Chains A and B, each alone.
Chain A
Amino acid sequence: MASEELIPHLFRTEFTKITAVLCKLFGIEHIEAAEDIASETFLSALETWSYKGVPPNPVAWLYTVAKNKAKNLMARNQTFNKKIEPQLKRSLANSEEIEIDLSEKNITDSQLQMLFAICHPSIPAEAQIGLALRILCGFGIEEIANAFLTNKETINKRLYRAKEKLHQENVQIEFPSENEISKRLETVLTTLYLLFNEGYYSESEDAVLREDFCVEAMRLCYLLIENTATNQPNVNALLSLMCFHASRFEARKDTNGEPVLYEEQDENLWNTELINKGIYFLNKASTGNEVSKYHIEASIAYWHTIKADTKEKWESILQLYNRLLMIEYSPVVALNRTFALSKSKGKQAAIIEAEKLQLINNHFYYALLGELYKGIDDAKAKCNFEKAYAIAKTQTDKQTILKNINALQ
C-alpha cells in the first residue's frame, strides 16, 4: 500500500484545491483539520479505487467525499462548529447545511487568499516556503525535507511553529486591502522567487521534484496575474524571469546529472515556448513607472537567451547589473557584474574591480578570480582556484573547480 506521502503527490492538484477551500472555510487556527480532511479523502480514494476501480468522474468523487467528511466533522464537533460559524460569510438563516463551495472561482479565490496568508511577514521566509509547498502545492513532508536536504522532524517543527505564529498574529485568510496590497505583494513575490530558486538550485538528486517546485512557483505567480488587483508590473516581471530560467531546464544537466555551464549548453535544448512566454510577460511588465529588481533580472535573463557573445549583449548586461546593485546589493550580483565587466571591457579592467570586492569567505569569488587570471597569470589563476576548492562546500561545486585546476596543470 502506498504511503500517505505518495497520495498528495499523485493527486496534488486536487489536494491543493480542496485544502485551500477548507482552510479558507475553517480559518487559520484549523489548518490542521483542513489538511487532515484532504489527506483522509485521498486515503479513501486509494483504498476504494484499488478494488472498485477509478470512478467515471474522479474529481467529483473526491469533492463529494471531502464535503461529507467536512460536514461530519462540523456536526460531530459542536465546539468546532461554533467557532467557525461566525467566520462563514454566507448567511445560515434557515439552513443547517453549510455549503462547501468547490467551484472554480472559489478554488482560485481561496488559493490566492491562502497565498497571502501564508506569505506573511511575521514568519521567516523558509517557513513561508515550507507552508506554501505543503498547503498550496500539496507536496509531502518527506519531499520537502528531501528538497531542503534536511529531515522530516525539522520540516514538521518548522511548519508547526509557523502555523502557531500565524494563529497568534490572528492572520486572516483574505485579500489585503487596496492600500496594503502592494506591500503584502512584495513578501509574496519574494517567497515565490525563493521557492523557484529552491527548485532551480537545489542540490537534491530528485530532478523531477526540483522541476515541480519551479512549475508550482510559476503557477502561483500566474494566479496573481489572472487576478486584476494583483496583476501588477513587478508580478509580470517575476514570471518573465522564471520563464527565461526555466527555458534552460533541459540543457542545464547532462545525461549523467552533472551541471552544464551556460557557455557549453546546447541551444537546441532551450525551450523556445518558455522563452517566448518570458518575452511576452516582460512586455506586459513594461508599463507604469516602477522598475523593480525583477524587471532588471528578467531583462538580464532575456539577454542570456541569446547565446552569441556580442559587445552589445555584455554592455547591456553590465549596465543592468549596475542598476541592480544600486537597488539591492548582493555578493552574487557583485560577482556577476564583474564577470559582465570582463566580457565588456576585458579581463584586466575586471581584475582590478574584482580585487576590490574582497569577498574572502565566498568560494565563487575565488573561482571568478581564477577565471579572470586564466591566460593572464596562470599561476595566480591556479592559486585562486585552489582557494575556491578549499572553501567550496558541495560536491558539485568542488568538481567544477577541480576541472579548472586540472586544466591549468
Chain B
Amino acid sequence: MKEFVLIFRTSSTPAAPPTPEQAEQMMSGWMNWMGSIAAQNKMANSGSRLGIADSKVVKPGNVVTNGPFTEIKEFINGFIIVKADSVDEAVEFAKTCPMVTGGGGNVEVRPAVSPENNN
C-alpha cells in the first residue's frame, strides 16, 4: 500500500459567494466524499483546507508578498493523503472529488515518496 497526495486547485476567479444553503451542501458534499474514502480505510491523512487570509509567498531576497495567488491564477485549496496500490487507484478517488465534479478546479495526484521508492 502506497500513499498518494491529492492536491486541490481552484481558479482564482471566484464566482459569487455561495449562499448558506449552497455552502452547507458543498460542505456535506466534501464530507461525504472524504467519508467514502475513510470508510474504505484508505484515508491516510484527512489533511487540511488551506486558508486565503493570512497567506504569504516568500521569494529569494526576502521578498514577501500576499499569497496565495501567484502568476498562474490558480491556487491550492487543500489536500488529503490517501492509501492506494497504484496511481490509477488514487485517480479513481480523485475523479469523484467535488473539486472536479462541480467546483471548477482540478486535483493533482502525486505519490508520497518514501525511502523505498523514490523516483
A contacts, CB < 8 Å to B: 315, 318-319, 321-323, 325-326, 329, 334, 337-338, 341, 353, 356-358
Give the secondary structure class of A's interface: helix
What are 5 contact pairs spanning A and B, CB under 8 A?
A318-B35, A326-B46, A329-B39, A329-B43, A356-B36
Give the secondary structure class of B's interface: helix
15 new A-B contacts, CB < 8 A, other than A326-B35, A357-B40, are A318-B35, A319-B31, A322-B32, A323-B35, A325-B38, A325-B39, A326-B46, A329-B38, A329-B43, A334-B38, A334-B40, A337-B39, A338-B39, A353-B36, A356-B39
Asked if B100 is at the interface of the complex by the 8 Å CB criterion, the answer is no
B35 touches A337 (CB 8 A): yes
Give the shortest distance, in Å, between B97 (CB) and chain A (any CB): 15
Residues of B within 8 A of A325 (CB): 35, 38-39, 43
B contacts, CB < 8 Å to A: 28, 31-32, 34-36, 38-41, 43, 46
Give the shortest distance, in Å, between A332 (CB) and chain B (any CB): 11
Residues of B within 8 A of A356 (CB): 36, 39-40
Give the shortest distance, in Å, between B37 (CB) and chain A (any CB): 9
Residues of A within 8 A of B38 (CB): 322, 325-326, 329, 334
Give the shortest distance, in Å, between B36 (CB) and chain A (any CB): 6
Partner of B41, one of A315, A334, A341, A353: A334
Residues of B within 8 A of A315 (CB): 28
Give the shortest distance, in Å, between A318 (CB) and chain B (any CB): 7
A322 touches B34 (CB 8 A): yes
Residues of A within 8 A of B31 (CB): 319, 322-323
A321 touches B35 (CB 8 A): yes
The complex places the Cα of A337 from the Cα of B31 at a distance, in Å, of: 12
The complex places the Cα of A358 from the Cα of B36 at a distance, in Å, of: 13
